[in-house]
Structure 1
Amino acid sequence: MAKQYSFFEDVYEVVKLIPKGRATSYGLIANYLGTKLSARMVGWAMNAAHGLPDVPAHRVVNREGLLTGKVHFGSPSRMQELLEAEGLTVVEDKIQHFKEIVWDPMKELEN
């Protein structure tokens, strides 16, 4: 029997490729996966990823660099702590200089 397609698994495979010290948005992942209007589904996948130690969900934020998923990290400051440990600066729940550090899989993974 063939393995059933899983959008969440596809999202996780992309998230695993985000380098330390970089971040991306729900929408950029959705666009890369060919589902440009599915940013919300990427968010759902990230909410479900917190038991997966090999998926760096803290590197996925909204299009403005806001830590919108921070409530899913156990403590209110954990997502920020993880990002800062990788060299990013977070002020008032927003990654500073997000446009300079953003990782766009469409550009970074192009062949």
Structure 2
Amino acid sequence: MADEEFVVCGYIRKNSRTFSIILGKYHDGTYLYKGHVTLGVTKETVSQLRESGITPFTAIPVGAGNESAIWVYPDRVCTVEYMPNTKNSLRQAVFKGFRTDMVPEDID
């Protein structure tokens, strides 16, 4: 398993108790979509996010619930643990918590 930091860019409400956080990376003044994490995300987690109503991404993949995303200000950094793979995707991802010692521009 590996840990990596991401910028929190939004979330998807799957039901009354299940949420997925939408993850991104800051690169050359823009945000790049990197996927979702659901395990470890609670209602309390998403209550700490500030809704913006505007996606920070220039390109958003269709599917995976992105159509019902609630976009937030990309001002929070989190750590995600996942199993590395050759497809550059987040396999078995687990939300580990927010990082108060980092800003989004640190996550490239």
Higher relative contact order (CA 8 A, sep 6+): 2
TM-score range, shorter chain: under 0.3
Answer with 1 or 2: which has the greater Rg. 1
Question: Which has more strand, going by share of residues?
Answer: 2
TM-score, length basis structure 2: 0.25
